[in-house]
Structure 1
């Protein structure tokens, strides 16, 4: 029924193959047809939509006369046209940063579009040239954690994280896991060498996960299997809290051992690490969650500076990065909100670091924030596109979006593009009113000139604060 669509050779300026790039979906490498390659186009990674979509169970159709590619399932219909930045998601127009293109009969779309419009998390590893895609957001942790790596439903899957590659850390540089047991309602892990365990919990079903990075399963450890993702199960009897324990070599790069406790119900825990013995103690009382800023009566506001570190976002016409603009405005908003006695402000990032989309959402949801604001700079293949636009996803966010945009558009003085629906991960998966602000177009010379001026950023920051205060009815 379908024509085979895959990449045609693009030799024009600004387009280059991400040489030898691989695509991993939910931890599994996708097989690309002969001649198909991931492209880097003006610092935007372009991926073959058919390969990804069909592996997710979508139907892909191609209309040659209009050069339209459609991605369909029972609830979602995405229509894109080659060479055009306008797309439609369930009948709603959505702007793409770079238009779809053809190479060798294959349609490629920006990786950022795959992330936002298909509800996926993405990671691009530029050193090894690999794209990592996670098809759904993981559950939100219910207890405080030391580190929050991307949780997974089983030991042998690794959504959202760097997937195993061929390079393997020398065993001499790794810690050895010499034994795993469960005694007196305590998980005991014997290790040789230096290791910093990471622990987090996952609901539905309830689990506690312990990751041991830069570690390997000792060959003397009975029952250990060195195949990545191959689980060993320790069944338990007589323990009301724990059903079973699973462990495996979770990743080859970096070498990581993962141990999972499958629980009968949610359980508080305490982790200690002394003299080569890691102990996860379940013999502690289940206490209420730690006091949150809201307990003081303050409103909690989460400010999200989009992109960061190895994910620079869109480049400007003067070769400046979106991530830097986003952070500068977010920091200014944070300083202003810190002066508000009735508001507690949290920045998802306060420096040039990278957070996955699900982690930005997790911060806001775990805090039970009152509002969430994500700050971005827009971009378009046409340099004439300009102006300020505010996006929302859920109906509960519409009134917040309208108030925020009213203040923002006046402050920027740029073209008023209005309030629009946008199926963005951070505005879709958050549980409080949430907006994504596209302050201006980095691809437009006039907008970009203003956006990197100090007084412009100050006005924008103040307008964001004013909009938040109006919505929250804070004086």
Structure 2
């Protein structure tokens, strides 16, 4: 499991405990019944148990941003906005000030936080067993602090649907929202484009800060090497009532279908009808169709997840960020998989945007994916740490992990760190076989350099695809 030794990954859980000594070196942390592997020490400082923040950052999926200039960490989730201050015993929840027993600190490159305020506000049950030195965390899914549990409380109160992610892969635009909307879709020419209007909607708190566009501001989603689409644009089209407009700029005239996968997942499919799915009546073009845009006629559905994105860079190396390495490999995996007529591939993100962990899971679940693969790069406070490892959480994922791992290790040429259990959110909350790949250590300059090499990335992508195809039993 990763050691997040950089402040960009701050995630805090706070709970005051009786004083139990200067350091609880044998303290164990259990999340939802599973013990977590923690190489760093869990310490007691001034009567508060201090936990490395990287332990839980990937498991619960709240949005975290870090302002290095003023030393503030913002955590958004469950309808709450929490701000912490490194080295200060003050925090705020929705602009209400709270005093902490112990301030968050950084020791030996690891950020340690007391477990109290966030646990109360985010609805995390915490129990301390002093005799056995065990901290037990249990997610309940309900905030105990009161108020809305939406990603954006004010918008939820206004009844707006919240756009949490936009991605494009295999000639399909995928939009995730917190609830269903009925889009208005039209095709226009001079120039050729498809316009998708989402009424009574706004950008959600889980959508990348700075990537959501206010009224009159247009953001773009990069599209590379696609013969149908040049780019995708989106903005808040109006404010009264609020609505989101997404425009697919086409290279030429193109037919399309719109599918409502349910639970706020929309797909605009530009893939031409090749006999693998029913042809709707002409009059239905531009209207929302029932059913699915993927996995027709026995096709296997593979969801590829490039970890992190936008304001969440993941681990940071000497010359690169994890989010960029993850995306580079994911795009190469997609390019190979989409050549196989037996496979439908979907990306959770296709450029430098951010999607909350629960939204990544939602994509895979609503599409009834056959498998889910999350791509990452590892990091350690030790620059000597090296190697490739693959994680699974559920027993039905172990075979997939073993199959992909053997090809992944061969492709990287790095030390084989093996197939391991990991309690990461995206491989725990999915129900299909799911794995999380740690290609190599970005904190190791040699491995970082190799992971930045396009030919090595291609080899890694080919290895991942070999494992996927062997597991699925497709040629």
Counterpart of 2:295 in structure 1 is: 294
- Specify every segment of 5 or more residues in structure 1 that has no aligned partner in the other structure, as ranges: 1-39, 77-88, 138-150, 165-173, 180-197, 203-209, 215-253, 258-266, 270-286
Counterpart of 2:440 in structure 1 is: 440
| Pair 1:343 & 2:286 matched | no
* CA distance 1:50–1:152, change in 2 (3 Å): closer
Query: Post-superposition shift, 1:377?
Result: 0.2
Q: Please tell me the root mean square deviation across aligned C-alpha atoms, in Å.
A: 4.1
- List aligned pairs for 1:314-463, cutoff 5 A: 314-316=315-317, 318-463=318-463
* CA distance 1:377–1:268, change in 2 (3 Å): closer
Query: Post-superposition shift, 1:46?
Result: 4.2
Counterpart of 1:113 in structure 2 is: 55
Query: Post-superposition shift, 1:124?
Result: 1.9
State the TM-score, normalized to the length of structure 2: 0.54
Matched pairs, number: 297
- List aligned pairs for 1:70-469, cutoff 5 A: 70-71=28-29, 76=33, 89-90=34-35, 94=37, 106-116=48-58, 119-126=59-66, 129-134=73-78, 135=122, 157-159=147-149, 161=151, 200=179, 213=202, 289-316=290-317, 318-469=318-469
> Which 10-residue stretch deviates more, 100-109 or 418-427?
100-109
CA distance in 1, matches of 2:367, 2:340: 18
Counterpart of 1:43 in structure 2 is: 7
CA distance in 1, matches of 2:415, 2:23: 35
Query: Post-superposition shift, 1:125?
Result: 3.8
CA distance in 1, matches of 2:18, 2:442: 32
Query: Post-superposition shift, 1:341?
Result: 1.0
CA distance in 1, matches of 2:44, 2:178: 44
- Specify every segment of 5 or more residues in structure 2 that has no aligned partner in the other structure, as ranges: 79-121, 125-140, 160-176, 182-198, 204-238, 243-261, 265-287
* Cα displacement string for residues 361-393 of structure 1 (whole angstroms, at most 9, x for unaligned residues): 000000001110000000011111110000000
* CA distance 1:306–1:161, change in 2 (3 Å): same
CA distance in 1, matches of 2:361, 2:263: 23
State the TM-score, normalized to the length of structure 1: 0.54
* CA distance 1:47–1:473, change in 2 (3 Å): closer
Counterpart of 2:235 in structure 1 is: none
* Cα displacement string for residues 393-423 of structure 1 (whole angstroms, at most 9, x for unaligned residues): 0000011110000110111100000000000
CA contact (8 A) 2:10 2:57 kept: no
Match of 2:25 among 48, 67, 76: 67
CA distance in 2, matches of 1:449, 1:364: 32
CA distance in 1, matches of 2:424, 2:380: 17
Counterpart of 1:25 in structure 2 is: none
Q: Indicate the structure whose relative CO is greater, using CA pairs within 8 Å and at least 6 residues apart.
A: 2
CA distance in 2, matches of 1:152, 1:340: 42
Query: Post-superposition shift, 1:108?
Result: 4.2
CA distance in 2, matches of 1:333, 1:472: 15
* Cα displacement string for residues 2-57 of structure 1 (whole angstroms, at most 9, x for unaligned residues): xxxxxxxxxxxxxxxxxxxxxxxxxxxxxxxxxxxxxx963334455443xx7xxx
Q: Which secondary structure does the structure 2 equivalent of 1:386 belong to? A: coil
